[in-house]
Amino acid sequence: QSVLTQPPSVSAAPGQRVTISCSGSRSNIGENYVSWYQQLPGAAPKLLIHENNKRPSGISDRFSGSKSGTSATLGITGLQAGDEADYYCGTWDGSLYGGVFGGGTKLTVL
């Protein structure tokens, strides 16, 4: 059971937009920045979004992040087949005094 809650799977057609939610509590998302990671099949996770809505250099502007209260959302526009991957949210938890991740969401591009 992960501290952060994500939907197990989402799907959409190529070119469409999809959102992935990440729900937590005050001690984690509520009081800390959220990061999002993309894990392609057989690869290590890659940072997509940090500090709620910032993209590292080289990350497409098709990816966006937002946070409101104790929830965060990853948005992906113009879906491509190459976006099929597992997506994880992560943040610090001040009560556990450690990092926490969501359970991951598998994105399928139909």
Does 97 participate in binding other proteins (rule CB under 8 A)? yes
**65 lies in the site for other proteins, by CB under 8 A:** no
Strands 9-12 and 105-109: parallel
The smaller minimum CB distance to other proteins, of residues 96 and 110, is found at 96
- Burial group, residue 74, by CB count within 10 angstroms (0-12, 13-18, 19+): buried
Return the range that interacts with other proteins (CB under 8 A); candidates 14-22, 41-49, 60-68, 69-77. 41-49
User: Which span (14-22, 49-57, 62-70, 77-85) binds other proteins, by CB under 8 A?
Assistant: 49-57
Residue 53 found at the interface with other proteins (CB under 8 A): no
